[in-house]
Amino acid sequence: MYNKDNHLTKVRDFNLILKYGYWINSQFLSLKVLDLAKNEAYFPPKEDSDNFKKQLKLAINVGLKVSKKAVVRNRFKRQITEVLREIMSGKETGLIKNGYYLFFVAKPNIKDKIFAEISEEVKLLLKRAKVFKE
């Protein structure tokens, strides 16, 4: 699992990404991206703005439309988390830049996919969002 510091947990952060972020869609995953450097006006007033815009936070959502069974939903969460952990640890080519909130949402047709397909889809979304370091 990726670092706990990188989890998107606060309600205010979810509200920030949902209100000001933009969607990138693919076949069986969607990604909502918020570039923190471009949205400084919306930062919480009590936070240090320099540290706030340098953070990287991630969240993964696999809803009930994917499956009613928690076991199935958790399996896909673990697979997406593993891909992100590999990318962030540097085993894969390119790392994710700091200064972004990333919110992955699984679509119902992810049920038919294997880990390799999910991995390629996550990497494709990150490339399209331009969050890889070069």
Domains and CATH numbers, the chain: 4-128 (3.30.230.10)
Own/partner contacts of 34-41, CB < 8 Å, gap of 24 or more, are 34/100, 34/101, 35/99, 35/100, 36/99, 36/100, 36/101, 37/99
Q: What is the pLDDT of residue 71?
A: 96
Environment class of 124 (CB within 10 Å of its CB; exposed 0-12, middle 13-18, buried 19+)? middle
Q: Rounded to whole angstroms, how far apart are CA atoms 71 and 97?
A: 32
Pick from 99, 113, 91, 121: which is nearest to 34 by CA?
Answer: 99
Q: What is the DSSP string of 15-79?
A: HHHHHH-EEEE-SSEEEEEEEGGGGGGGS-TTS-HHHHTT-EEEEEE--TTT-S-HHHHHHHHHH
What average pLDDT does this structure show over 43-72?
86
Beta bridge partners of 102: 33, 58
Q: Is the pLDDT reported for residue 93 higher than 50?
A: no
Q: Are 122 and 33 in contact (CB under 8 A)?
A: no
pLDDT score of 82 more than 80: yes
* Of 47 and 9, more confident: 9
* Res. 49: pLDDT tops 90: no
pLDDT higher than 90, residue 13: no
Using the predicted structure, report yes or no on whether residue 91 has a pLDDT greater than 80.
no
